Amino acid sequence: MSSRHAVLFTRKSCQLCDEAKEMLDMYGFSIEEIDIDERPEWLEKFDSCVPVVEIDGKIRFRGQVNEILLLRLLRTMGN
């Protein structure tokens, strides 16, 4: 299994965040969850657009994970 890693900026009671986590998990990502409500700088940056998914140090998705785009990204990652 490859070592896919994603950072998921999330918050409690966020249905889209739960869906994003399930999809990332389904495609074999290890997921580091960060609750944006715990730090003022994260809240300021991501308040209106969670979930935010960061892969390879780049923000790849905001608001929702698009499965087709995720699959394209995985192909370009070579795994």
The total number of structural domains that make up the chain: 1
Residue 2: the pLDDT is: 55
Residue 78: the pLDDT is: 73
Burial class of residue 35 (count of CB atoms within 10 Å of its CB; 0-12, 13-18, 19+): middle
CATH number reported for the structural domain that contains residue 46 in this entry: 3.40.30.10
Q: Which domain holds residue 42?
A: 4-77
Asked, as a colleague might, if the bond just before 40 is cis with ω within 30 of 0, I would say no
Residue 1: the pLDDT is: 42
For residue 6, the SS3 value is strand
Low-confidence ranges of the chain (pLDDT < 50): 1
pTM for this model (two decimals): 0.91
What are the Cα distances from residue 21, in Å, to 40, 41, 62? 23, 22, 13
